[in-house]
Chain A
Amino acid sequence: MDHLFSPAGLANSALHRVDPRVKTVSILCFTALVSTLTSWTALLFGASFLVVLGALAGLTPLYFGRRLLWILPFGGVLIAVLPFAVPGEILAGFKIGTHPIGVSKEGIMQALILFLRMMNAVFALTLLTATTGFRGLMRAFRELRVPLVFVQLIEFTVRYIFVLIEETRRMMLARRARAFRTGKSLLDKRTFLTLGQLLGVLFLRSGERGERIYLAMLARGLGNQSIKRELVWPPTRDLGWGLGILTFALALRMLETGGSSWQTLLK
């Protein structure tokens, strides 16, 4: 299973080799800067820039697209509702029962901007995780002095998600082996009871397995790793990459606030 944090693309592209700390800082700043953009052209430029960088690292636009699809269920609702909720010039109207609702031009515009911002954020994080990998990212966080508790919290969450998924799979399999069928309505009493019970046992079992896994990690010296490892300043070439990414975001920001008149039309 390809997961949110697995590295992808060319294994050894220039971007993959950039120091994880530089990538983390520059791409997070890029995301922050780009999310303040308000024109769709600038946002589109931002996203294209990320896709081009991705291409250099061997990531296809399709890969970015797929990641966007994963996130869409979460942000999608808001985007779908905005055109109806924002007052303004009505483009199309219809009635639900006696209640008239309309789609406003301003609403569509805001939805589009929101979507593009989300797209930028998702693309940026995709680029970061795909070229850095989970371990590199966590190391970057540590070396950037993110509090250890946070880093460990993330690490354990990611690890245990698989424990939970696996445990569920095994339990479903065991139930199915004894002729339990899902797919009927959840309202079916037996399906409901069985699944409810499964969920309960799942928590108990994963709790216990989680504990044993933790013991196994301790057995392999978890926590022995001292953070005192010598920190080296990233090489100039890496800093160059970071600077480049930041400059692009800054340039977009400046161009926008630079007050070119075509932008104000869109606001």
Chain B
Amino acid sequence: MANIIEVEDLHFRYRDGTEALRGLSLSIRKGSRVAILGPNGAGKSTLLLHLNGIYLPARGKVRILGREITAKTERWVKSKVGLVFQDPDDQVFSSSVWEDVSFGPINMNLSAEEVRTRVEQALRAVQMEEHKNKAPYHLSYGQKKRVAIAGVLAMEPEIIVLDEPMGYLDPRGKDNLLAILNELHRREITIVIATHDVDLAAEWADRVIIMKNGRTLAEGDTSLLADEELVRAADLRFPVVVEIFRRLPELNLNPLPKTISEAVEVIRAELKHASWEHF
């Protein structure tokens, strides 16, 4: 069973009649790092809510670890898939940071001792230990976001799904979050993020899914982000690195570099080449 997440022909309609998902299909391999991209209103958040069994499919199927999500399995799936909401104010509700992070582990019936170590670890991972007794509503937005992430880390799920995880984080916070995600990846946890940040997707993801109007537009590796037609169709833009090399057609690069390290590599090679020609 290589695909840990499988979505087939998923439809979903909100109470007011908005059709948020219209026949979406995708599959995600165990241990991969997936970025879901798409314009505002594409249905990313709605999709993520299905992955954790909050919404049940109106039509179509969602399978996690090979099991279909239904009213019967929706409890089980919540311990397997951790979901970090887009807006931390939706997720963080307790009167202290500590209490909030322990909410999930307590629901999992862990022993008091186990709850304590998990909460401590999670708070340390997002560097919020010193705020553990603070009221979440007195924290800055970025700090709340970290608490929200800690709340899910503490449940130690096999799949972690984050909706716009970088929003409001400072540069240092972003680096820290990337480090956390990399650590999770090393532990073979499957990570799915929904984001507008094409640079992040290009640097970090090993698989990209592009959505629009409640459907999958394309699925593939990060080279999708250099595909002009696709980028235009999905109202995205090129990652900065891709954009730079697109303007240098004289280099005759194919494929174009997408990450900073790839770019550095190419530039170094060119420099070497140029210095040879000099002699």
- Which A residues lie at the B interface, using CB under 8 A? 1, 3, 5-6, 134-135, 158-159, 162-163, 165-166, 209, 212-213, 215-226, 229
Contact = CB atoms under 8 A, between A and B. Distances in A.
16 contacts: A1-B138, A5-B95, A135-B99, A158-B95, A159-B93, A159-B94, A162-B137, A216-B91, A219-B54, A219-B82, A219-B83, A220-B82, A220-B151, A221-B107, A224-B109, A226-B109
Given A6-B96, A218-B78, 14 more contacts: A1-B138, A134-B95, A158-B95, A159-B94, A166-B137, A209-B89, A209-B90, A213-B91, A217-B103, A224-B75, A224-B78, A225-B106, A226-B109, A229-B109
A222 B107 contact: yes
A209 to B, nearest CB: 7
A224 B54 contact: no
Given A212-B90, A221-B104, A224-B78, A6 B109 contact: no
Given A166-B137, A209-B90, A220 B95 contact: no
Nearest to A226: B109
Contact of B54 (A6, A162, A165, A215): A215
B26 interface: no
Contacts of A209: 89-90
Which bracket fits the contact residues of B? 20 to 34
B224 interface: no
5 closest A-B pairs by beta carbon, nearest first, are A221-B107, A220-B104, A212-B90, A216-B91, A219-B83
Contacts of A1: 135, 138
Contacts of B79: 221, 224
Nearest to B148: A216
A225 B78 CA distance: 13
Contact of B109 (A135, A165, A225): A225
A233 to B, nearest CB: 18
A221 B78 contact: yes
Given A166-B137, A224-B109, A215 B103 contact: no
Contacts, number: 75
Interface in B42-63: 49, 52, 54
B36 interface: no
Contacts of B267: none
B88 to A, nearest CB: 9
Contact of A225 (B83, B87, B107, B151): B107
Contacts of A166: 89, 137
A215 B163 CA distance: 14
Nearest to A166: B137
B184 interface: no
B85 interface: yes
B155 interface: yes
B24 to A, nearest CB: 20
Nearest to A139: B106
B189 interface: no
Among A165, A209, A220, chain B packs the most CB atoms within 10 A around the CB of A220
B107 A220 contact: yes
A5 B155 CA distance: 26
Given A215-B54, A218-B78, A219-B83, A162 B93 contact: yes
Contacts of A6: 95-96
B28 interface: no
A215 B85 CA distance: 10
Interface in B150-196: 151-152, 155
Given A159-B94, A215-B49, A220 B152 contact: yes
Interface string B71-83: 0000100110011
A108 B215 CA distance: 75
Given A212-B85, A215-B54, A221 B93 contact: no
A162 B107 CA distance: 21
B240 interface: no
Most-contacted residue by chain A among B49, B90, B108 (CB, 10 A): B90
A217 B108 contact: no
Contacts of B137: 162, 165-166
A210 to B, nearest CB: 9
A57 to B, nearest CB: 18
A185 to B, nearest CB: 30
Contacts of B75: 221, 223-224
A166 B89 CA distance: 9
User: Which one of B78, B85, B95 has the highest number of Cβ atoms from chain A below 10 Å of its Cβ?
Assistant: B95
Nearest to B79: A221
B109 A216 contact: no
Contact of B108 (A134, A163, A219, A224): A224
Contacts of B155: 220-221
A219 B78 contact: yes
A165 B95 CA distance: 12
A216 B87 CA distance: 10
A248 to B, nearest CB: 31
A225 B54 CA distance: 17
